[in-house]
Structure 1
Amino acid sequence: MEDEAGGASMGEHVEVNGTTLWAESRGQGPDVLLIAGLSDPAEAWQAQLDGLSDRYRVIAFDNRGSGRTPLPERPVSVGMIADDAAELLRALGVDRAHVAGFSGGSAIAQELALRHPEAVRSLVLMSTWARADPYFTAMTRFWHWLATQAPDERAMLEAFFLWIYTPRAHANGMVQHIIDDTLAFPYPQSAETFQRQLETFMRHDTLDRLPGIMAPTLVLAGELDMATPVRLGRAVADAIPGARFEIMPQEAHQPFQESPDLFNARVDAFWREVDGHAPPS
């Protein structure tokens, strides 16, 4: 397989926790685990796999039900996927990693830090939440029926991405490019799998347990994020001892794709600080 930059992909199937995960690993250096969100395969992190692998060993994987990793018939929990992540690190010979989770992946990252604290060197939570509020619940219920009631998959993505990307990304053609890539992806996610994965994330609730996270934590929220608004990220940061909370101006739900240089520079500075290579910002 070739990546978007034309280089050889370092992807492999890894047997963990009773399933087979697809994982990609790039670069050398301190270990970084990237955990994607709802329906996103490892390719969602392309700009980080490409942009951070000159300094880190960057690992991304397909969650259960995304890309090349199957969704089992039995119910799936966020905790189960967190256990997948911990076992993946062990299978790849990683003792501890800087963990960055986005949206649903941030829910998995929270559980990973709670269930397997020895595996987490630091935690970056992008577009995160700890407990659904009424707005979040109504929004995700809408996404659930949108998956099967939209006229076609392109119409579904056009509607869904209104919550995900900034107005500028809709105006400059980026969203249409992402939709085209999604529709051309050789490992599509069915509407039923999207709904089941969404149901898993809708049940996420760690608010009362977050004080148990001891890893250095950076919580990032997009100023324009409608899916996981600033208030939800702030509640997460307030509950984790010593966590930092930062708002990314003029960004929405997925800034690591829309503004990858900005995102990469921020997480790099945080990881360097955690590892003792840079003064506190």
Structure 2
Amino acid sequence: MGLHVKAGELEIWTEQVGDGPDVLLIGGLGDTVESWQFQLDGLADRYRMTAFDNRGAGRTAMPEGQPTVEAMADDAAAVLRGLDIPSAHVAGFSGGSIISQELALRHPELVRSLVLQSTWPAMDQYMKTLARSIHWQAELAPDERAFLEFFFLLVYTPRAHNSGMVSQIIDDVLAFPHQQSTGAFLKFLDAFVVHETGSRLGQISAPTLVLAGGVDPMSRPELGEDVARRIPGALFEVMPEESHQPFQEVPDEWNARVHAFWQQIRGGA
């Protein structure tokens, strides 16, 4: 069951399940609570899992003006404080991993550990060019299905496309009653194109696990490795056959890995 949490003038939609140490899940571009369903289902027997819709996605409105990653990190902090969570293991993917980095920099007392999936320190020229192509595809695609078919080529493996998994995801997105507008999607994307944390990552003190998909065409493994190299003591691992969102394609494997990481922290390793 979900509820809205107040963050300044913004009402952020949140959902919480399970019992145990607190985990905050932060989604990426246009993703809502539902993107984490395999984690909400698969880890709630061991953790209290909290997920939320970022500003401009799902049941959380997009305020006027251009959003910033700093504002979205403050949104995440407001969710934790609004739910009386003193600190949490924080896991974010793609744009959500950048929000997670910024959360750890701006509100370190709230972050017990970090899992950064498909992350980067700053968009390089390749990523910026790719972001521009996503921009015009979103504006010029003949319909939403056509855009999603293009966009998900960058997100899921050929395995997921050929098995019918991606087709089912597209059907679910199109049937979702709280769809993100194209304008909100592009404003969200633009926030990450100009954002950088690379020069500040050395300030992060939370234990960190950086995961990368070996065939991810967007946040390529070398970008994740760069993040891990900049955060003191961070672990870096590549899932060689996975793309941008392995927590959806191979959720059992992904859940087991992050659970092991969180258990190491609990044990003081």
Which of the five TM-score ranges fits, normalised by the shorter chain? Answer: over 0.9
Partner secondary structure for residue 250 of structure 1: coil
> Which AA in structure 1 matches 2:34?
E
Residue 59 of structure 1: which of 21, 34, 50 is its match?
A: 50
Residue 2 of structure 2: which of 11, 22, 34 is its match?
A: 11
| Match status 1:80 vs 2:109 | no
Residue 40 of structure 1: which of 31, 40, 63 is its match?
A: 31
Partner secondary structure for residue 214 of structure 1: coil
| 2:172 alignment partner in structure 1 | 181
Q: Runs of 5+ in structure 1 lacking a partner?
A: 1-9
Cα distance in 2, alignment partners of residues 183 and 131 from structure 1: 31
% identical equivalent positions: 59
| 2:141 alignment partner in structure 1 | 150
| 1:49 alignment partner in structure 2 | 40
> Which AA in structure 2 matches 1:41?
T
How far apart are residue 152 of structure 1 and its match? 0.6
Detail structure 1 runs of 4+ shifted over 4 Å in the superposition. none
Q: Is the 8 A contact 1:32 1:58 kept in 2?
A: yes
Q: How many residues align?
A: 269
Q: Is the 8 A contact 1:17 1:83 kept in 2?
A: no
How far apart are residue 138 of structure 1 and its match? 0.3
Cα distance in 2, alignment partners of residues 86 and 275 from structure 1: 22
How far apart are residue 249 of structure 1 and its match? 2.0
| 1:129 alignment partner in structure 2 | 120
| Match status 1:258 vs 2:258 | no
Cα distance in 2, alignment partners of residues 98 and 245 from structure 1: 17
| Match status 1:243 vs 2:234 | yes
| 1:276 alignment partner in structure 2 | 267
CA-atom RMSD, angstroms? Answer: 0.8
| 1:119 alignment partner in structure 2 | 110
Partner secondary structure for residue 208 of structure 1: helix
How far apart are residue 98 of structure 1 and its match? 0.1
Cα distance in 1, alignment partners of residues 152 and 66 from structure 2: 27
Cα distance in 2, alignment partners of residues 18 and 211 from structure 1: 32
Cα distance in 2, alignment partners of residues 108 and 61 from structure 1: 13
Residue 167 of structure 1: which of 141, 158, 162 is its match?
A: 158
> Which AA in structure 1 matches 2:163?
N
> Which AA in structure 1 matches 2:8?
N
Mapping for residues 162-241 of structure 1, pairs under 5 Å: 162-241=153-232
How far apart are residue 107 of structure 1 and its match? 0.3
Cα distance in 2, alignment partners of residues 181 and 76 from structure 1: 27
Residue 86 of structure 2: which of 95, 100, 110 is its match?
A: 95
Cα distance in 2, alignment partners of residues 134 and 74 from structure 1: 25
Which one has the bigger helix percentage? 2
How far apart are residue 201 of structure 1 and its match? 1.5
How far apart are residue 74 of structure 1 and its match? 2.1
Partner secondary structure for residue 106 of structure 1: helix
Q: Runs of 5+ in structure 2 lacking a partner?
A: none
TM-score, normalised by the number of residues in structure 1: 0.94
Cα distance in 1, alignment partners of residues 93 and 8 from structure 2: 22
How far apart are residue 16 of structure 1 and its match? 1.4
Partner secondary structure for residue 162 of structure 1: helix
TM-score, normalised by the number of residues in structure 2: 0.99
Residue 140 of structure 1: which of 131, 139, 146 is its match?
A: 131
> Which AA in structure 1 matches 2:204?
I
How far apart are residue 18 of structure 1 and its match? 2.2
Cα distance in 2, alignment partners of residues 266 and 17 from structure 1: 35
